[in-house]
Amino acid sequence: MPKEIIIPEGTSKPLAPYVPATKANNIVYVSGTLAFDENNNVVHVGDAAGQARHILETIKKVIETAGGTMDDVTFNHVFVKDWADYAAINSVYAEYFPGDKPARYCVQTGLVKPDALVEIASIAHV
């Protein structure tokens, strides 16, 4: 099965051996995405809603580069550092999925950078 590596213009260089997304059989697997600028610095420090918006905009760019839209997202993996941020993250999340919602799970965990408050990975069928 051939696969296509998806790296949108302006995306930060990954911190480890992975790519922003891989597309195979019209399925886009988006790597765990954090609120990083192009130099891998966390943006919107202390602002979970701001980080969620940045992450979802990055995911949107990845999926559009792969030929899809946010309506094509079928599953999201959401990781939060603190449950206290859950409502703020959900309010932004709902803006990006106003119609039929994708399936998802959400867990509390530590993230790769101390200032990161949320991470989202996605699967889309384009």
Return the sign of the alpha-carbon dihedral for residues 101, 110, 54, 12: negative
Return the sign of the alpha-carbon dihedral for residues 85, 92, 37, 125: positive
Say which CATH number the domain at 89 has: 3.30.1330.40
Per-residue confidence band for 108, with pLDDT thresholds at 50, 70 and 90: very high
Q: pLDDT at residue 23 above 80?
A: yes
Tens of pLDDT, residues 53-87: 999 999 999 999 999 999 999 999 999 999 999 99
Reduce the DSSP state of residue 81 to 3 states and report it.
Answer: coil
Query: In which domain, by residue range, is 111 found?
Result: 3-125
Q: Which residue is catalytic, options 19, 43, 45, 106? A: 106
Per-residue confidence band for 28, with pLDDT thresholds at 50, 70 and 90: very high
Q: Which of 27, 121, 36, 103 is nearest to 67 (CA)?
A: 27
For the question of residue 106 being annotated catalytic, the response is yes
Rounded to whole angstroms, what are the CA distances from 54 to 2, 3, 85?
30, 27, 15
Q: What is the percent of the chain with per-residue pLDDT over 90, rounded to a whole number?
A: 87
Give 64's strand partners.
Answer: none
Tens of pLDDT, residues 33-54: 999 998 889 999 999 999 999 9
DSSP string, 82-122: -GGGHHHHHHHHHHH--SSPPEEEEEE---SSTT--EEEEE
Number of domains the chain contains: 1
Q: Is 0.75 topped by the overall pTM?
A: yes
pLDDT of residue 124: 98
Instruction: For residues 85-113, give the mean pLDDT.
Output: 97
Q: pLDDT at residue 1 above 90?
A: no
